[in-house]
A = this chain, B = another copy of it.
Amino acid sequence: MGVKKNEKSGERCALQEILGIIGGKWSMSIIYALFSGKKRFSELERMVPNINTRMLVKELKNMEANGIVKREVFATVPPTVEYTLTTKGEKLEPIINELYKWGLEYVN
Residues on A lying within 8 angstroms of B by beta carbon are 1-3, 5, 8-9, 11-19, 21, 23, 25-26, 28-29, 32-33, 36, 47-50, 67, 88, 91-108
Chain B residues contacting A19 (CB-CB under 8 Å) are 23, 25, 28
Quick check: A14 and B104 within 8 Å, CB to CB?
Answer: yes
A43 → chain B, closest Cβ, in Å?
Answer: 12
Contact of A26 (CB < 8 Å), options: B16, B26, B94, B104: B16
What is the CB-to-nearest-CB distance from A97 to chain B, in angstroms, rounded to a whole number? 4
Q: A3-B101, A12-B33 are in contact. List 15 more A-B contacts (CB 8 A).
A: A1-B93, A1-B97, A8-B33, A8-B47, A11-B100, A12-B32, A14-B107, A15-B28, A15-B32, A16-B26, A17-B107, A21-B107, A23-B23, A67-B106, A95-B95
Number of copies: 2
